[in-house]
Structure 1
Amino acid sequence: MAKIIGGIGTSHVPTIGVAYDKGKQEDPAWKPMFDGYKPIADWLAKEKPDAMVMFYNDHCSSFFFDFYPTFALGISDAFPIADEGAGLRNLPPVKGNIELQAHIAESLVNDEFDLTVFHDKPLDHGCLSPLPLLWPHQPDWPGAIVPIEVNVLQFPLPTARRCYRLGQALRRAIESYPEDLKVVVVGTGGLSHQVHGERVGFNNTDWDHEFLELLEKNPEKLTELKHIDFVERGGAESVEQIMWLAMRGALGDSIKQTHLNYYLATTTAMTAVLYENA
């Protein structure tokens, strides 16, 4: 059967992709952030997972406020790269695995998660700002992506507990897949940041590290928080942290944090963390 071999939490700041495309990996302002992904990329190169499930939010590239699903899962053999206004990035289409994607979709629906299913829609920086830092992509990506979009933009949002339960259901779906695949689960977004309003530029380093500690050791406590709790502690956009809880729910009870890079140099606390089975 398929198995989950680890989890990754990562910010999906759009400027990460811009800096990557402009070759700023050695720029003093960006080097600490890019270097923080190298141990995770090395681990992925060693473990060679077949698929990566990515919890992300679409930034009105494929879904819009007249139709923005709570949870949506992509089923396609390839996903285009979204043009978010600056032209297409020089990345190959993201590979899919239709059999695995369809199995996960059916399993989640049977587990009472009412999914939207999408085909062939472009993926934006929610997936693609961190992905080239994790996986090589020339001439092609080494494995398949299972994109699971989560609504963190338009209220009502799914609760933190619902996202955690979604991750647990994902684990059941993957472990019931009959093919021997290695799967990594990724939660994207966050950590603390606010990009609009009176608190624009707000960060809370103490809360970020408390969140990371609880995510590893006591995620159930985080599921008790309301959306306003995340907003007050980490800024309006830090509600994206509920997607990290979906990733954490897929990992089971006993894990260990084997790498963490936390870099606060812009309006967002850019973070990359790796979890493995304890």
Structure 2
Amino acid sequence: MARITASVYTSHVPAIGVAVDQGKQNEPYWQPLFAGYEFSKQWMQDNTPDVVFLVYNDHATNFSLDLIPTFALGCADSFEIADEGWGPRPLPTVQGHPELAAHIAQSVIQQDFDLTLCNRMVVDHGLTVPLSLLCGNPPMPGGRWPFQVIPLHVNVVQYPVPSGARCLALGQAIRKAVESFDGDLDVQIWGTGGMSHQLQGARAGLINRQWDNAWLDRMVADPQACAATPHIDYVREAGSEGIELVMWLIARGAMADLAPPASGKVAAPRVRHRFYHVPASNTAVGHLILEND
């Protein structure tokens, strides 16, 4: 059967992608941030999956205030790089896995989650920056990403947005779906976005190191309590864009220790790497790699 072997969590700051594309990784401002991903890049080479199920939020490239799906699953066989106003990033097309995506859609919808199914999507920095951070940019032309990708867009832009508890439960449903797929696939699930940041208003530039790190502690050790965090806490403590962290809970929900029924017999996942850094374009950057025991 297919199996989820690990979960990866990272911020998806657009300026990080620009820094990679322009070769600025060793500049004094950027070097400390990219140093925090050196372990992860080697870990990815040593643990390359067949498929990455990548949870992110679209930034008005596929969806606008005219159409706001809460959860939108990319079911296409490929996903072109979006033009976010400065031309598409110099990256290869992202290859999908339509067979697994269709199976996940069938299973998750039968578990009473309403998904929007997308047979055509473009992917913006929410998805491409995590790929660059963990894999580097493949050489162009002719480069390829080292695995296939199934994108899941989550609405964290326009309220109402899904609760942390709903996101954690969706991760559990995704795990069940993956494990029922009739194929030998190594799957990782990635949660992206966050951490504390606010891009507008009187609190623009807000960073809350203490809250961010306490949230990471809880997400690893007590994800149910973390999922109970009300939306107002994210806004007050982590800024208006801190709500992106609910997407990390989808990835956390897919780990083995939360597979229902909760028997208490499965150990918590191993923390293979943890990194936190500020600032990166007025944003706190968080990063985790968790492996199933």
The separation in 2 between residues aligned to 1:130 and 1:97, in whole angstroms, is 18
SS of corresponding position for 2:34: helix
Which position in structure 2 is the counterpart of 1:252? 256
Q: Which amino acid is the alignment partner of residue 21 of structure 1? A: D
The separation in 2 between residues aligned to 1:91 and 1:235, in whole angstroms, is 31
SS of corresponding position for 1:260: strand
Matches within 5 A, 1:27-42: 27-42=27-42
Q: Which amino acid is the alignment partner of residue 275 of structure 1? A: L
RMSD value over aligned CA atoms?
1.0
Runs of 4+ in 1 over 6 A off after TM superposition: none
Which position in structure 2 is the counterpart of 1:128? 128
Matches within 5 A, 1:85-124: 85-124=85-124
Which position in structure 1 is the counterpart of 2:169? 165
What do residues 31-50 of structure 1 show as CA deviations (whole Å, max 9, x unaligned)? Answer: 11112112112111111200
The separation in 2 between residues aligned to 1:200 and 1:48, in whole angstroms, is 38
Which position in structure 1 is the counterpart of 2:288? 273
The separation in 1 between residues aligned to 2:15 and 2:68, in whole angstroms, is 24
- Of the structure 1 ranges 262-271 and 174-183, higher mean CA displacement relative to structure 2 is found in 262-271
SS of corresponding position for 1:80: strand
The separation in 2 between residues aligned to 1:135 and 1:76, in whole angstroms, is 22
Q: Is the 8 A contact 1:263 1:271 kept in 2?
A: yes
Matches within 5 A, 1:140-179: 140-179=144-183
Matches within 5 A, 1:206-217: 206-217=210-221
The separation in 1 between residues aligned to 2:76 and 2:52, in whole angstroms, is 14
Q: What is the Cα deviation at residue 273 of structure 1?
A: 1.2
Q: Which amino acid is the alignment partner of residue 269 of structure 1? A: A
Which position in structure 1 is the counterpart of 2:239? 235
Q: What is the Cα deviation at residue 90 of structure 1?
A: 0.8
How many pairs are equivalent?
Answer: 278
The separation in 1 between residues aligned to 2:12 and 2:225, in whole angstroms, is 24
Which position in structure 1 is the counterpart of 2:49? 49
Unaligned residue ranges in structure 1 (runs of 5+): none
Q: What is the Cα deviation at residue 135 of structure 1?
A: 2.3
Q: What is the Cα deviation at residue 25 of structure 1?
A: 1.0
The separation in 2 between residues aligned to 1:37 and 1:273, in whole angstroms, is 10
- Of the structure 1 ranges 28-37 and 60-69, higher mean CA displacement relative to structure 2 is found in 28-37
Q: What is the Cα deviation at residue 120 of structure 1?
A: 2.3
Q: Which amino acid is the alignment partner of residue 13 of structure 1? A: V
The separation in 2 between residues aligned to 1:39 and 1:77, in whole angstroms, is 30
1:225 aligns with 2:229: yes
The separation in 2 between residues aligned to 1:181 and 1:157, in whole angstroms, is 32
Q: Is the 8 A contact 1:191 1:234 kept in 2?
A: yes
- Of the structure 1 ranges 221-230 and 50-59, higher mean CA displacement relative to structure 2 is found in 221-230
What do residues 92-117 of structure 1 show as CA deviations (whole Å, max 9, x unaligned)? Answer: 11000110111111111011111001
What do residues 144-193 of structure 1 show as CA deviations (whole Å, max 9, x unaligned)? Answer: 10100000011111111000001010100111111110011100000011
SS of corresponding position for 1:134: helix
SS of corresponding position for 2:122: coil
Q: What is the Cα deviation at residue 130 of structure 1?
A: 1.7
Which position in structure 2 is the counterpart of 1:24? 24
The separation in 2 between residues aligned to 1:251 and 1:40, in whole angstroms, is 19
What do residues 49-76 of structure 1 show as CA deviations (whole Å, max 9, x unaligned)? Answer: 0000111000001111110100000011
Matches within 5 A, 1:178-193: 178-193=182-197
Percent identity over the alignment is 45
SS of corresponding position for 1:129: helix
Q: TM-score, normalised by structure 2?
A: 0.93
